[in-house]
Every structure is written in C-alpha cells, then in structure tokens.
Amino acid sequence: MSATAGPDPAATPAPWPLPWLGHAWRLVVVWVLGAILWLSTFGTSPAAHPDHLAGDTPLGIVDGLLAVDLLLGQVAVVLAGWRRRRPVVIALLTAALTSLSVFASPAALLCLVSLAAHRRWRPVLGVGVSSLLTVTLYEALVAPVLSPDASRGIWLLVVVVTSGLMLAVAALWGWNLGGRRQLTESWRIQAETARREQGARTAQARLAERTRIAREMHDVLAHRISVMTMHAGALSYREDLSPQEVREAAETIRRNGHTALEELRATLGVLRAEDITEGPREAPQPDLLALPDLVAETERAGTPVRLRVPEDFWPRAVGLPARTGRHAYRVVQEALTNARKHAPGAVVDVVVDGDEARGLTLRIANPRVPGAPRGDGSGFGLAGMGERVDLAGGRLAVRDAGADFVVDAWLPWGRVEADEQDRPSTDGRPTAGHEEEER
C-alpha cells in the first residue's frame, strides 16, 4: 500500500477494535519483560556490586541512572496504552525513551508492531531507524557506566546487530498482522455487501413480480368489468326491455362477475405466498389459440366481432411461443374492451395473420360512434398495449383511418429472448408495469 494513501496514521485510530482485556494483557507482558531487562541490568551494575565500580564514577550516578531507567520504563508502558490513537508519535516517544531506559525497550517494540500493522512503510522505517540509533546511544553512553567490565568494542557491534534484527522482526510481524486484519475486514465488508445486495435483489424481484401480477389483474378484470358495466347500465336506463332480456342481462352480469372473481382469486393466490419468487405460480393464461373464445364471449356481451384469419394460420400458430401468443391475446382483448366502451354496438374487425418469416400481425378496427360515452378508466390503455408490444420486440401503431379507429401491431414470431424479458429479473430490475384501460 502506498505511504501516501489513506488517512494519516499519526492521528487516525486503528479500524479494528481491541477490547480492554486485549490492551491489558499486552501492557502486562511488556511491563514484565521490561522488569526482567531492568533487573538483569541492575544485577550487573555497580549498585549490586559496589566493588566493581570503575574509576571515579560515583555510586550515586549509577543509582540515579537505574532510577531514571525504572521511571522512564513506567512512562513508556503508560504511553504504549495510547499507541492506537497516535501510533507514529507514541512509537517515536517510546523509541526515544530507550536511549536511557532498557525497561522501555519492550514497550517500544510493542508500539513499533502496532505502527507496522497500519502497513505504511515510511513511518515504520523512520521509527525503526530512530530506535536503532537510541539503542546505539544507550550502549555507547549508559551501558559502560552500568556495566564497566563488559568489553565495549565487539559487544557494541553484537548489541546493535541483534537490536536491528529484533526491530526488523517486530516490523514484519506487525506488517503481517495488519495484512491479516485488513483481509479479515475486507471479507467482512464483502459478506455484508453481498447480504445487502441479496436483500435488495430479493425485494426488487418481489416488486417486479407484483408489478407483473398487477398487469395481469388489469388484463383479466378490465374485460369482465366492462361487460358488467354495460349490461348494468342497460338495466338502469332501458325501460323497454322484456323480462327475458332483463334475465339475460342479469345472467351475463352474474356470469362475468363470477368469472372475474375466480380469475382474481387465482391471481391473488400468488400474492399470498410467503415468497413470491418461490411460491406457487398463477394459473395458465390464455394465448392466441384462445382468440375464438374471446370473440365469442365479446359477441355474447353485445359487441359483434368479425374475425378474419387465414385457414392455414391456426396450424402455424401452434408453434408460436407461448408468451408472444399471450401478448397478442392481451392486445386484442384490450382493443375489444376499448371498442365496446367507445363504440358500443359497432362491428369490430379483427384481422390476424403471419408466419415465422413475416412475423405476427394484428389489426383491430372499429368505427367511430358520434356521441358515444367515454369510459371511466385512467387513460393508459394504449400505453399498456404499447408496453406489451415493446416487451415482445414488436411495433404498435394507433391511427385514425377515416371513420375508423385502427390498432395495428406486429410481433416477431420466434422472439424467445423477448419472452424471457417478461419474467421477473434475477438482478432486481423491474419488468414492465401494468396497463390501465382507456385510450
């Protein structure tokens, strides 16, 4: 990692937490090690063996140096408790204390390990060089006073080399420790991110499925309810109806209401599942092969329909992808529903043709009826049809042709990949929204 990347380690706490018990045992260990070093130094000093006092060195100076060593060692241990708050500053201070105190050496090593865990080589190199200089200074100035019998030449070289190796090992240990901590933290972040993304994908998949169900609910109910509304209106305003006609209208309302209720119950069954993405699916929806039944039902509701289909079309339609046929069926159903509302009683022409080479073509035309009442929908029926056609990779054109209103649609015959787009997206992107009635 670059030394300039990230925040300044001198003022930034470590990103990984350390409980108080972890702090405590580390400080206890460095204190015990410092005490052992101090006692070993005291054991070889003239304070323990006054007869070894060299030259004119007063015994009071030796005692003073040992006392300062002990005092500065306690200061170093206390400072080590703040190493995670100001790693560079604390490491430099404890390294400076080792110039007069061997008691402070373990605490200085602990601070160097903590600094190296941040994995910034420039501060580590600076503190390591400073520590090596202070050790050399101690061995050159203080150690000869406390251990006058030691051979200073070769001994100084051995101590400096040994101290350098210890500092290098401490720095590498801290560097490796920091790398492991960063790797563990990255795994934790990745796991948390994956969990959040999975939750978002699940929520979006459920929303997409509910949107698709809402579209199907509109397609299923708009046709039935429009038939019921028309016959109920006739019963309200037509006083010249015979009892037989009244019974037929009431039976039509009852039959369409019952059918709408059954279809609504089948659709809402999906919403009652605990998991939309894994729960039961809705009942099979009609496709283009059910178009004659739709025409017959529309005619029974009082809207004459003239269906024109080539004789050899139905054998070809068996090979039409199911979802493409379903889109075509819904487009015709929506167009018939709108024609019944805006041109009641007028003959509706439905022309269906196509093959695998030319694609599927639909044309629904109805004459305009002056003064016909407008529906009470929200005005998005044509937008819904256009959405279905776009979903299948086709084209939709709505135009006025003289006295007629014409809906032309073209769908690719074998657009299987377009069918896949109608399914809930596995990456959480919602599919097409529901259509509303009215143009």
Rounded to whole angstroms, the Cα distance separating 304 from 296 reads 9
Q: Are residues 252 and 374 in the same domain?
A: yes
Domain count across the chain = 2
Neighbour-count burial of 151, counting CB atoms closer than 10 A to its CB (0-12 exposed, 13-18 middle, 19+ buried): exposed
Average pLDDT of the chain?
76
Is residue 417 domain-shared with residue 295, that is, in the same domain?
yes
Confidence of residue 123 (pLDDT cuts 50, 70, 90): confident
Dist CA 334 CA 384 (whole Å) = 9
Instruction: State pLDDT tens for residues 346-375.
Output: 899 999 998 888 899 999 999 887 766 554
- Regarding whether 291 and 393 lie in a shared domain, the answer is yes
How confident is the model over 59-88, as pLDDT tens digits? 667 777 888 888 988 998 889 888 888 888
Q: From CA 286, how far away is CA 333, in angstroms rounded?
A: 11
CA 260 to the chain's CA centroid = 39
At 48, the pLDDT band (50, 70, 90 cuts) reads low
The answer as to whether 9 is a domain residue is no
Residue 14 in domain: no
Question: What's the CA gap between 101 and 258, in Å, rounded?
Answer: 95
Of 80, 84, 69, the residue nearest 141 (C-alpha): 69
Confidence of residue 170 (pLDDT cuts 50, 70, 90): confident
Tokens of residue 171, six digits: 């720095």
Domain membership of residue 13 (yes or no) is no
Residues in Cβ contact with 148 at an 8 Å cutoff, skipping those fewer than 6 apart: 46, 52, 53, 54, 55, 57
Give the containing element (helix H, strand E) for 92: helix 87-97
* Model pTM score: 0.41
Q: Tell me the backbone φ, ψ of residue 401, rounded to 5 degrees.
A: -115, 80
Residues facing residue 411 across a β-bridge: 360
Dump pLDDT digits (tens) for 186-237.
888 888 888 888 888 888 877 877 777 677 777 667 767 777 777 777 777 7
Among residues 62, 15, 67, which one has the least CA distance to residue 38? 67
* Three-state secondary structure call for residue 430: coil
Mean pLDDT across the stretch 386-400?
84
Residue 36 lies in a domain: yes
Of 118, 134, 150, the residue that ends a domain is 150
pLDDT over 90, % of the chain: 7
Do the strands 395-401 and 348-355 form a parallel or antiparallel pair, or are they unpaired? unpaired
Which among 150, 173, 208 is the end of a domain? Answer: 150
Nearest-CA neighbor of 350 among 284, 413, 298? 298
Cα-Cα-Cα-Cα dihedral of 378, 380, 382, 383, to 10°? 180
- 178 lies in a domain? no
In a shared domain, residues 210 and 320 = yes
Report if residue 187 sits inside a domain. no
pLDDT at 148: 60
Say yes or no to pLDDT of 91 above 80: yes
**In this structure, is the dihedral angle defined by the CA atoms of residues 217, 221, 223 and 229, taken in order, positive or negative?**
negative
* Residue of 29, 170, 174, 36 whose CA lies nearest to 102: 36
In the numeric block, which tokens belong to residue 289? Answer: 């092969």
- Give yes or no: residues 218 and 74 share one domain: no
In contact, 87 and 115? CB cutoff 8 Å: yes
Paired sense of beta strands 395-401 and 404-411, if any = antiparallel
Q: What is the CATH number of the domain that holds 305?
A: 3.30.565.10
Write the pLDDT tens digit of every residue in 102-121. Answer: 888 888 888 888 888 888 88
Enter the tokens of residue 406: 């014409």
Instruction: Clarify whether residues 382 and 238 are in a common domain.
Output: yes
Do 308 and 384 share a structural domain? yes
Task: Check residue 43 and give its pLDDT.
Answer: 64
Task: Decide which of 123, 150, 177 is a domain's last residue.
Answer: 150
Residue 217: closest CA among 259, 258, 256, 268? 268
Lowest-pLDDT range of 26-35, 342-351, 418-427: 418-427
Strands 305-308 and 348-355, bridge-based pairing: parallel
The verdict on 35 and 117 lying in the same domain is yes
- 231-255 in b/e form (b: 16+ CB < 10 A) is beebeeeeeeeeeeeeeebeebbee
Q: Which domain holds residue 81?
A: 20-150
Same domain, 111 and 212: no
- 234: which 2 tokens? 């006739």
